[in-house]
Amino acid sequence: MEKFPFLSEVFDSINEGIYILNRQGDYIYCNSAFLKMVGATRDDVLELNAFRLVPEGQVSISVAVMAFEQKKKLSVVNNVCTPKGYHYRQLATATPIFDSVGEIEYMLVEMVRLDLFKKRYQQAILDEDADCIEVPGLGDSVGDRPETFVAESQSMRALLDMAKQVAGVDSTILISGETGTGKEVLANFIHRHSHRADRPMVEINCAALPENLLEAELFGYEKGAFTGALNTGKPGMVEEANGGTLFLDEINSLPLALQGKLLRVLESHKSKRLGAVSEREIDFRLLAATNQDLKTCVEKGSFRADLYYRLNVIPLEIPPLRNRREDIIPLALFFLDHFCKKYGRTKVFTKGVFNQMMCYDWPGNVRELKNVVERLLITSSVGTMEIRQVPENLLGEGSVPPPPEVYPADWESIYQYDPEDFSLKKYMNFCEKQVVAAALKRCGSSYKAAELLKTDQSTIIRKRQKYGIS
C-alpha cells in the first residue's frame, strides 16, 4: 500500500468487504466496505487476530482460519449478526498468498453480502433490455410490509398521491377494487399517514362473521345481553377504535339490519352496546372497502342508499393488476426480496419469468402474484440462483408461457417446467433444436450453420425440417 498509495483508494471504492491477514492471523488491512459491514472502526479491526475470533465467540466460523489450515482457497456462506442486531447472509472467500518456499504469507478475504449481490444481479438481467426499470425495495416502495404498494404505474402513483392528500382529514373514505388488489393495504397506508397514526386501527371483515355475531363484534354488549355473553360484557370494535381508525372491509356484505345502525353511529358518533340503556361518545375515522359496485347494490336493494352516500364522501378505486402492468415486475421483485429474507434464500428472476408474468392477466391481482412468487422461491432448485421458468400449471387460464430458456447444462430447469413429460430423449431433442435454431439465426444459411457446428449441410436441413425451425 505504501508503494502504491492509490490502491487504498481503489479498494475503498469496491462494494465488497476486503481484509488482509499476515501469516500470524493479524489484520493488517481492511477497506471501507468491510468496516461498514461489521460496524467497527479501522483501529478496532487492526487490533484483531483471526485465530482468536472463534475461541472468543465473536464468530462461529472463520473461513480464513480454515484456509490457513487447509492451505487452499475456500468459500463459505454464513449468517452474520452485527453488533447493532442487523442480520444478513454473506459469501466469504479466503485466498492464501504463498511465499517463495510455499508457506502462506498473507490471506486475502473477500466478503459479499448476498442480498446486495442479488439486487445487482437482478438489475443486470433487467438492464439487458433497453426499456429497463429500477429494482424496487430500497426507497421505491411505500411501507415496509410484504403487503406494500409498489407504485410504478401512473395510475397507482396518482392514487397514492390522492391517498396521502386525504389522509390528513377525517372524512370517510370508500375504497373499491377487485379481490386481491390491496384495499386493506391502502387503508393501512391512509391510517399511517393520518394524525391518528399513533392510535389503533381496528379492522373487521363484514363477510367473515354471521349477522348475530357481527352486531355484537361491531357494537359490543352488556352483561347478560344474550345467552353466552361474557359476565363482564364486551366493548365493540367501534369503541375500540376510539381516537383511531375503524376499517370495515367488504362492507357490501353488511346485513341490511345493521346498515341502519351503522349509519346512525356515523352521523352521531355515538354507539350503544347490545342490552345497554345509554350511548357512548366515540371519536373515530371510518374507512370502508368493497369488492362490489355499491351503487349497483343500491339499485338491487341489497345496500341502503343513504348509507352509500354517507360512505362515498371520498371514493378511491384501486385498478386491477392487468390494467397497470407496469407494476407487475416491480411487485414481483419486491415480493421476491421479501421471501428471500424470510426463507434465507438468494434468488433472481430471468427475463423468461418476467415474460410469463407479463403475458398473464392475474385475475387474483396482487395477492395471486405474491403467492406465485412465494411458491416459485420455495420450489425452485436449491443449487441455482436463477428462477428460470413459471410452471404452466401455476398460472391459470389466460397465460401464454414462453418456451424454457436455453440452459443445456441445467436439465433441472427443463424438468421443473414439465416434470411429467420429461425424458432424456425429449431433453436431448430440446437441446439439439435450440442449438440448431440458434446457429441458423446467427449464420443466416444452412451452409454456414453446418460449418459452425462442424457437421454437413444435409444434417442441418434435416434437423430444421424435423423440428419445424423456420
Strand partners, 91: 77, 112
Mean pLDDT over the full length of the chain: 82
Q: 321-351: per-residue pLDDT in tens?
A: 999 999 999 999 999 988 988 888 888 888 8
Lowest-confidence pick of 120-124, 397-401, 425-429: 397-401
Interacting residues of 22 by C-beta distance below 8 A, sequence separation 6+ = 28, 105, 106
Q: 375-415: per-residue pLDDT in tens?
A: 999 888 776 778 878 876 777 655 544 444 444 445 666 66
More confident residue, 100 or 395: 100
Lowest-confidence pick of 74-78, 393-397, 453-457: 393-397
Answer whether 352's CB lies under 8 Å from 404's CB. yes
Q: Give the separation between CA 39 and CA 83, rounded to whole angstroms.
A: 7
Q: 285-301: per-residue pLDDT in tens?
A: 999 999 999 999 999 99
Q: Is 95 exposed, middle or buried (0-12, 13-18, 19+ CB in 10 A)?
A: middle
pTM of this prediction?
Answer: 0.63
β-strand pairing of 17-22 with 27-30: antiparallel
